[in-house]
Structure 1
């Protein structure tokens, strides 16, 4: 009898330890990061950056809350209850999919029914600051995300000049290795610049990514700018970034 109790107790301890590890492991390897400074959303899966999407966020900085939240519900063709518009209707501003975010604090415990990442019937609004707090995506993009993002994964919302690689390191997300072509930076780079953003630039230009904006990088930037009909000044500002990251 004593042996049976001991085996039973050990089994319970092993089961509880497994249950404790799984959520933390999932949170580490899968996450959504939203950067309001450039209106971009990054999705991490299996510890790697899979895709970066353009989004629209709040009309003012305070409307889209910042912090660490959780994805708590997922709805296909959610109705627009405020105006009584059914899901799937072209007039519905929530688009094809809804991924609800639980936002505590001053905004109340909403269980993901008030704030969310969703599609839109106004695609021209993507990339702008126009919403009442939610994060809008193109319908094709939110469908892709809906099919891959699991409930209860962390959702980080921030306003930062850092790259997604740097933000992932800050939040402890995954292996911090990006799928080629999906990294993004939002700062102006020039000769003498250093850091993750320079390394992202160098990978885009297919040169050695040492994070140092030196003579080789300067030559590569000027060559790229010339090929795109831009002013070949070697400075990576908004126009050069747009050319680098346009699809």
Structure 2
């Protein structure tokens, strides 16, 4: 009987320690990485890069802090208290979602009320340096992220010429097996009719359906991207379009 009790107690201790280890494992395999040099945000889930989004960051380099932080609160349609604009109002500059980041020294005692990843009512600012320190996203993109990013995951903000693959490896995000080298970039020229992994990378970067086939939807998205970036609108993803896409 005593032996049975000891075995049961040891089993319970093991279960407790396994639950205690889960946050650390989650922190390694789920993360948000923001690169101010390219104004892109990458979301990693289960150690794998899921999507890369364009963002807007601070008007000056010092406005958006750099370092390792935590996602500490999530709010749907957060009001804009400064101007007393309710959440969901088209005039609200915080857009559809708020993901608050714990940054030491903010007025909310690191509560995630000052710095955050949020939507915007000014979509033309995405891709530029326009904010007072927060990270802006298109509303459809921040809703996607809000639904998937768990509280307390790490948020890395940097200014770097490195790829997200390299940054993730440096931060220990999915570094064992799950980060695929070259995931977010490719070197070949793509056009209508192309197929394969490079097309999937292109489609992820354009935030459209991913099927690995360069069809009408991808052609339309590429031409739209080229037009918005002052490129020749030919629907061919060559060196200049790749450079605009990945800021190489």
- Counterpart in 1 of 2:68? 68
Shift of 1:3: 3.7
2:243 to 217, 226, 241: 241
Cα distance in 1 for residues equivalent to 2:96 and 2:38: 24
Report the RMSD for the aligned CA atoms in angstroms: 3.0
- Counterpart in 1 of 2:214? none
- Counterpart in 1 of 2:184? 183
Contact 1:202/1:208 (CA < 8 Å) preserved in 2?
no
- Counterpart in 1 of 2:102? 102
TM-score by length of 2: 0.73
The answer to whether structure 1 residue 36 and structure 2 residue 22 are counterparts is: no
- Counterpart in 1 of 2:112? 112
TM-aligned CA distance change 1:10 to 1:28, over 3 Å: same
Q: How many residues align?
A: 205
- Counterpart in 1 of 2:56? 56
Cα distance in 2 for residues equivalent to 1:35 and 1:95: 21
Cα distance in 2 for residues equivalent to 1:152 and 1:22: 12
- Counterpart in 2 of 1:47? 47
Structure 2, unaligned runs of 5 or more = 199-230
- Counterpart in 2 of 1:225? none
Cα distance in 2 for residues equivalent to 1:68 and 1:154: 7
| Structure 1 stretches of at least 4 aligned residues deviating more than 6 Å after TM superposition | 203-209
TM-score by length of 1: 0.73
Shift of 1:172: 1.0
Shift of 1:15: 2.3
Shift of 1:183: 0.8
The answer to whether structure 1 residue 201 and structure 2 residue 204 are counterparts is: no
- Counterpart in 2 of 1:27? 27
TM-aligned CA distance change 1:240 to 1:48, over 3 Å: closer
- Counterpart in 2 of 1:215? none
Q: Deviations over 1:95-114 (max 9, x none)?
A: 00000111125777321111
Structure 1, unaligned runs of 5 or more = 185-199, 210-227
- Counterpart in 2 of 1:77? 77
